[in-house]
Structure 1
Amino acid sequence: MMPADSHSPPLDHVAERYVKLILAMGQHDASYVDAYYGPPEWQQQAIEQQQGLSDIKAAADMVLALFAGDHCLRAVNLRKQLQALLARVDMLQGARLDFDTESARLYDAVSPHHSRSYYATLVAEIDALLPGDGTVSARVNAFRAQLVIPADKLRAVMDAAIRAGRERTLQYIALPEGEDFVLEFVSDKPWSGYNWYKGNYQSVIQINTDLPVYIDRAVDLGCHEAYPGHHVYNVLLERDLVRGKGWLEYCVYPLYSPQSLIAEGTANYGIELSFTDAERLAFEQQVLYPLAGLDPALAPRYAQLNALLARLSYADNDIARQYLEGSLAREEALEWLVNVRLYPAEKSAQRLQFYDAMGAYVINYNLGQDMAKAYVERQGSTREAHWAAFCDLMSSPRVPSALRAE
């Protein structure tokens, strides 16, 4: 690790200027600041001053120049976050970035490309698992229709799934006393679940009920949004970095930044870290299916199906890239989502809404998960080692490009 340049200002000074720039950007983009629990007067200042985009860009360039010689992890992370802010300024000023350039500049990572024929072999395996008449997509969705959590059972099922994730997390990660969350059910959103971190170790977790919530989503959403996912991630950042070290850059979370790949990647990897395949099947079959009033005999086959569907996840990135770059028209993108990604038609329309709203953000889920998994599993071979590396990844400065094996 190289020493800081003797002319560089203290990073605490840089961090304060960074936070204020993120808050200033939030005045131009309502979704940009995902969480903030720093000094209230900084937020008020951003509202009152209303910096223009050109001024924000000039100030960010100036801050970057201040600590160009500092190569510690904290400085590297701040630099990547500021570079992503500059990319977002460019986009808001009308720059048209191709999908891979956008993902590289905002999230410090680029997703692999796959052809339709690559996914066809995976779809053929699902065809064999669910033989019968009609398209593979129709058969998948007919099977899944038996596995919708009834609306009046949704809270009980989600509570049980979140509780199980918390119990598993607490075996390996000590959390501060008083950490907690509120669970809400909402509608008219382009996403299926969201964690709004409020500071002081508190989250609001929202589940979107616009579309059917299938039984497997209980564990997915419970782990991803709560334990050991977003809630734990934010609690650790607040405890260990903001309070523990006084690193105020972590009191703000800009959504369109490399931090999101770490956040979404660890939240998704946290699902399989919490439950082995066998543990998850047993928990769902013995606890969640009965709570939802569903037939537990369907659980093993559904687990097989979901394992195959997970291998189709990168189709999301390929569809988004082609759709957003214009090589797939809207109807063509919907057809890919139905027949390649095997989404139901109504979810496919919602997914296009997500692409339109979030752009290349989609890569953070699957590519982020694979990068987090590979990094964590290189740190040791035992479950204890994986949890320790996972905790360290979430509670220390990290940038996505540094997760890759050298």
Structure 2
Amino acid sequence: MMLIRFYTAMWVMLLTACSPTPETTTMNVQLNLDQLAEQYVKLALKIGQHHPSYIDAYYGPASFKPIQEKTSLETLLVSAQELRIGIEKVVIKPALYQRQELLIIQVRSMEMFIRLQLGEHVSFDDESKGLYDAISPTISETQLDSALIELDKLVPGEGELNNRLNHYKKQFVIPLDKLDAVFVAAIDEARKRTKQHIQLPAQENFKIEYVTDKVWSGYNWYKGGNYSVIQLNTDFPIYIDRAIDLASHEGYPGHHVFNSQMEQHLVNNLKWVEFSVYPLFSPQSLLAEGSANYGIEVAFPKAERLAFETEVLFPLAGMDPTQVERYYQIQDKLSLLSYADNMVAKRYLDGEINREQAIELLMKYALSTKEKSMQRIGFIEANRAYVINYNLGQDLVREYVDKMTGNGDHDRRWQVFADLLANPKTASMMKTAR
């Protein structure tokens, strides 16, 4: 009997000695998730070998970059599926739930992207859900027609609305020899306003370049180390309202700040390596584009924007500042047509209309010139369902911020917005957040 008790006691001691403490368990779980995050980064970089635009930014370890020839897409799809299952199986503490959920959704997006590269045909909605974790609401031509009727009453002149609008807007084109002065003034003001609410690293900075022959109007190339190259495409006229839009969207508090916040808080501080890579065709882009668009109105509430344009930008551009109010009345009505791009892209990519019909619909409902509409179709052909990220992304971010602030004061709005940039969520995560 004593011998049994002795062995029982020894067995309990052995089990106790071998059982991990809570601290050890946490460390091992963290290590497992970190290892899976490394696999995610390496897999993203391998997928990037198959598409020149897939990796928008990377500032992680150089050793993660693939040095061998391309891995087949079929093999990469299996790797993505296995990685997702591995992440789903990790048992973690509540503090890491958001990190795990975001990783799972990002890897699901990888799977969809690979399937598309393999030539699989999916509908526009299935593609957008798979890549960006969101589906754009269905917009009918009847809904857009009502916005056109309102615009028709505002735009001066006679004849077809598209021609009248584009003729009216010519007076608001920023002359090329004044573009740099106007844009620098806009981005300096956006930067000043952002820094009043978001703490940015002392060394953060950017460079502005003016380029041509692109399918986009502006682009932020984030280089890591809190530094960006911001490019503006001068192929087409840049209207005065685009100065603040582009300065805020590409710079402050848009893409530059978003990437800088992720690098600072998640990569440098928490050592979450998955945020050192930015796959362009992923749920991360819906938040990136949506927050960049929403950030315009956060940095420049309507009354303040009109005042700054009147006092600073219109004079710098050599324009009549008394035209500001009417110009923005028309811009407000044009915003009612923002989902026209989504409607046209969906119908075109789903094969319901051909290219010429798509261009005609853009000319009618986006009220763009034929040349500009052709450029937009080029963007849709190159980036497909990505178009939903701008308008739907903006609406989802606005809804999230409103929900979390209870439509509170402006400082509270900045606080929630800044936290979202530093702690990213996908579309479904924003919808279910409390």
What TM-score results when the alignment is normalised by the length of structure 1?
0.96
* Alignment match, 2:3: none
Q: Provide the C-alpha distance between the structure 1 equivalents of 2:168 and 2:182, rounded to a whole number of angstroms.
A: 20
Q: Secondary structure at the match of 1:256?
A: coil
Give 1:69 deviation, angstroms: 3.4
**C-alpha distance in 2, partners of 1:19/1:312?**
38
CA contact (8 A) 2:110 2:131 kept: yes
Contact 1:9 1:66 in 2 (8 A): no
Secondary structure in 2 matching 1:51: coil
Relative to structure 1, is the Cα distance of residues 405 and 59 closer, same or farther in structure 2, using a 3 angstrom cutoff?
closer
Q: How does 1:93-172 map to 2 (within 5 A)?
A: 93-172=118-197
- Is 2:80 the counterpart of 1:60? yes
Q: Answer yes or no: is the 8 Å Cα contact 2:156–2:168 preserved in 1.
A: no
The alpha carbon displacement at 1:310 in A equals 1.0
Aligned with residue 202 of structure 1, among 227, 239, 247: 227
Give distance in 1, aligned partners of 2:315 and 2:31: 59
Residue 292 of structure 1 corresponds to which residue in structure 2?
317
1:76 equivalenced with 2:76 (yes/no) = no
| Counterpart for residue 307 of structure 1 | 332
Tell me what 2:423 maps to.
Answer: 396
Q: 1:379 aligns with which of 395, 404, 411?
A: 404
Distance 2:149 2:110 in 1: 42
CA contact (8 A) 1:8 1:69 kept: no
Deviation, structure 1 residue 405: 5.2
1:275 aligns with 2:295: no
1:356 counterpart SS class: helix
1:9, distance to aligned residue in structure 2 (A): 6.2
CA shift, 1:397, in A, is: 3.7
Residue aligned with 1:206, SS: strand
Verify the 8 A CA contact 1:27 1:50 in the aligned structure 2. Answer: yes
Confirm or deny that 1:34 pairs with 2:56.
yes
Indicate conservation of the 8 Å contact 1:376/1:390, yes or no: yes
Residue 47 of structure 1 deviates from its aligned partner by 3.8
- Aligned pairs, number: 401
Partner of 2:13: none
SS for the counterpart of 2:228 is: strand
Q: Cα deviations across residues 252-304 of structure 1 (Å, max 9, x unaligned)? A: 00000000001000000000011111111111111011111111122111111
Q: Does the 8 Å contact 1:184/1:205 carry over to 2? A: yes
Cα displacement (A) at 1:236 = 0.2
Q: In the alignment, is the contact (CA less than 8 A) between 2:287 and 2:424 conserved in 1?
A: no
Letter in 1 for 2:333: L
Q: Which amino acid aligns with 1:283?
A: F
Residue from 337, 341, 358 that aligns with 2:383? 358
The root-mean-square deviation of aligned C-alpha atoms, in Å, is 1.5
Cα distance between partner residues in 2 of 1:107 and 1:351: 20
Runs (4+) of structure 1 moved beyond 3 Å? 6-9
Compare 339-348 and 227-236 and name the one that shifted more.
Answer: 339-348
Structure 1 residues 47 and 348: CA distance shift in structure 2, 3 A: farther
SS in 2 for 1:375: helix
Residues 401 and 127 of structure 1: CA distance in aligned 2, closer, same or farther (over 3 Å) = same
1:239-278 alignment runs, 5 A limit: 239-278=264-303
Structure 2 residue matching 1:197: 3-state secondary structure: strand
Preserved CA contact (<8 Å) 2:173 2:237: yes
- In the TM superposition, residue 132 of structure 1 has moved relative to its aligned partner by 3.0
Once residues 57 and 293 of structure 2 are traced to their aligned partners in structure 1, the CA distance between those partners, rounded to angstroms, is 19
Distance 1:405 1:370 in 2: 15
Matches of 2:246 and 2:429 in 1, distance apart? 27
- Describe the SS at the equivalent of 2:126: helix
AA aligned to 2:328 is A
SS of the equivalent of 1:67 reads: helix
Determine the C-alpha separation between the residues in 1 that align with 2:77 and 2:155: 54
Post-superposition offset of 1:67: 2.2
Secondary structure of 1:282 counterpart: helix
For 2:254, the equivalent position in structure 1 comes to: 229
Equivalent AA in structure 1 for residue 75 of structure 2: D
CA contact (8 A) 1:8 1:67 kept: no
Q: Separation in 1 of the partners of 2:332 and 2:71?
A: 48
Identify the match of residue 350 of structure 2 among 299, 303, 325: 325
User: In structure 2, how many angstroms separate the alpha carbons of the residues matched to 1:54 and 1:330?
Assistant: 31
Letter in 2 for 1:403: M
In the aligned structure 2, how far is the partner of 1:405 from the partner of 1:121?
32
Residue matched to 1:191: 216
1:19 is matched with which residue: 34, 41, 50? 41
Separation (CA, whole Å) in 2 of partners of 1:299 and 1:8: 54
